[in-house]
Amino acid sequence: MEEMKYQNELEFVVRDYECDLQGVVNNANFLHYIEHARHQWLESLGIDFAALHEEGIDLIAVRIEVDYRYPLKSRDRFVVRSAFRREGRLKLICNQDIYRTPDQKLIAQARVVTTALQNGRPALPAPVMEKIEKVLPSSA
């Protein structure tokens, strides 16, 4: 299998309130982690969610699949690594892997299918995609 080529990496620390009664991160919090990592990547490209919304463009997740491999506990340090690629005319796929640091243990893997709505209709608007495609793999 080909090694994943990540375009972004964001570090986190587990906070106590993210853990459930079993002392591990509640599975729903993983969605927060991967969403925040995607948003930070887009913001680093100069894509402003609030400004886009005002223009009638909303970036949305259509489908999220997460495979949980190993738990995280309070105060664990971890990194979310994200790899993006275009799929077809209307989808941007984001593969996001969560690794505990410093041992680099794979904690979870997510596949997020995203698109945009422009005035309520599915689209990948040119102003957004021009910024994104500059950093996508050439095979995308």
Strand partners, 89: none
Nearest CA to 16 out of 2, 29, 31 is that of 29
Half-sphere exposure of 8 (CA within 13 A, CB side): 24
Per-residue pLDDT of the chain (140 residues; tens, 9 = 90+): 457 889 999 999 999 999 999 999 999 999 999 999 999 999 999 999 889 999 999 999 999 999 999 999 999 999 999 999 999 999 999 999 999 999 999 999 999 999 999 988 999 998 899 999 888 876 54
So what's the pLDDT on residue 127?
86
The number of beta carbons lying within 10 Å of the beta carbon of residue 40 is: 14
So what's the pLDDT on residue 140?
43
Q: Say whether 9 sits in a helix, a strand or coil.
A: strand
DSSP assignments along 82-126, one per residue: EEEEEETTTEEEEEEEEEEETTTEEEEEEEEEEEEEETTEEE--H
CATH architecture of 8-131: Roll (3.10)
Beta pairing class for 8-13 and 121-123: unpaired
Structure letter (DSSP) for residue 139:
T
Strand partners, 101: 77
All structural domains of the chain with their residue ranges: 8-131
So what's the pLDDT on residue 24?
98
Q: Which residues are catalytic?
A: 20
So what's the pLDDT on residue 101?
97
* pTM for the structure as a whole: 0.91
So what's the pLDDT on residue 49?
85
So what's the pLDDT on residue 2?
57
So what's the pLDDT on residue 139?
54
